[in-house]
Amino acid sequence: MNRQILLENQLKHWHEVISDRSGDPDAYIRRGMVYFKLGQIAESIKDFDQAEALDPRIKPYLWQRGLSYYYGEQFQAGADQFEIDLTVNSQDVEETVWRYLCQAKLQGVESARISLLPVSGDSRTIMGQVYSLYQGNCSPDEVLNRGTWLGQQGRFYAHLYVGLYYEAAGDQERSRYFITQAATQYKLNDYMWDLSLVHCQLRGWQ
């Protein structure tokens, strides 16, 4: 089935669920994720906000909202969300990298690198290499080479985060190349693969 039709069907499903269970925060998170996959960023943020309003305890777990903040150009809110996320998920390299990406938009890459929060124990081998890249301790080529040895997932994450690294640095040509490669050559059943498609859509690369 066409991805657009599939997502529209999912959206319809969650509309119906919320109509019956308007007090269910998980339903709003699920619908917000579908809105994000459709590139409807403002709508996704509204649903994530509603989920938090229904259950404030979930705030440190709303990493999806942090991603939506980035694409909604609410960079300070995004940085704050990822910093809160790290209090409950301190082993996830992606949380601190996305905080870096938000801060780079606000303060530049040098400031973002200096304030990169420590993370250790991420079980995904490629993410350790990605963290080293954003620390300034290895090159994009080293990340890509490591990804080559780690299968489809490793290749996808290597290309995505190298592309995002170049976006933060202002190199749109290389950013476009690597994120487009991630989206078109290394498909995964993963929210971050959908993010790569949304990135291309919002940047006008499709």
Q: What is the pTM of this model?
A: 0.96
CA distances (Å), 7 to each of 86, 130, 197, in order? 30, 30, 13
Q: How do the domains of the chain map onto residue ranges?
A: 1-57, 62-122, 124-206
Task: Check residue 206 and give its pLDDT.
Answer: 76
Q: Which CATH superfamily is domain 1-57 in?
A: Tetratricopeptide repeat domain (1.25.40.10)
Task: Check residue 166 and give its pLDDT.
Answer: 98
Task: Check residue 121 and give its pLDDT.
Answer: 83
- Sites in the chain below the pLDDT cut of 70: 1
Task: Check residue 136 and give its pLDDT.
Answer: 96
Buried b (16+ CB within 10 A) or exposed e, 95-104: bbbbbbbbbb
CB of 161 closer than 8 Å to CB of 96: no
Q: What pLDDT, in 10s, does the model give residues 147-187?
A: 999 999 999 999 999 999 999 999 999 999 999 999 999 99
